Structure 1
Amino acid sequence: YLLKLVDDGSLNILWEIRCPDFDCNSVILRTHNLSEIMGKEIECDYCENGLLVRRQHVFPVFEINDDFREFLKQSKKKQVNYLHAL
Structure 2
Amino acid sequence: MSTVWDIDAWVEEAAWSPIKRFYPTAVTKNVALPINLVFEHLLKLTEQGKLSLFWEIRCPSCFYTVIPNEDEEFNSGDLITCPLGHDFELMGENLFPVFEVNSEYRQYIRGKKKSPLQVMIRRKLVSAGL
Which category of TM-score, normalised to the shorter sequence, fits these structures?
0.7 to 0.9
Cα distance 1:74–1:84, how it changes in 2: closer, same or farther (>3 A)?
Answer: farther
CA-atom RMSD in angstroms: 2.6
Question: Which sections of structure 1, spanning at least 5 residues, go unmatched?
Answer: none
Mapping for residues 1-86 of structure 1, pairs under 5 Å:
1-21=41-61, 24-29=62-67, 36-38=73-75, 39-45=77-83, 47-77=84-114, 81=119, 82-83=122-123, 86=126
Write the distance in 1 (CA, Å) between the matches of 2:46 and 2:68. 17
What is the letter of the counterpart of residue 57 of structure 2?
I
SS of alignment partner, residue 20 of structure 1: coil
Question: Which sections of structure 2, spanning at least 5 residues, go unmatched?
Answer: 1-40
Q: CA deviation at 1:40?
A: 2.1
Cα distance 1:84–1:75, how it changes in 2: closer, same or farther (>3 A)?
Answer: farther
Q: CA deviation at 1:63?
A: 0.6
Structure having the larger proportion of residues in strand: 1
Write the distance in 1 (CA, Å) between the matches of 2:124 and 2:50. 30
Q: CA deviation at 1:31?
A: 8.3
Structure having the larger proportion of residues in helix: 2
TM-score by length of 2: 0.52
Name the % identity: 32
TM-score by length of 1: 0.75
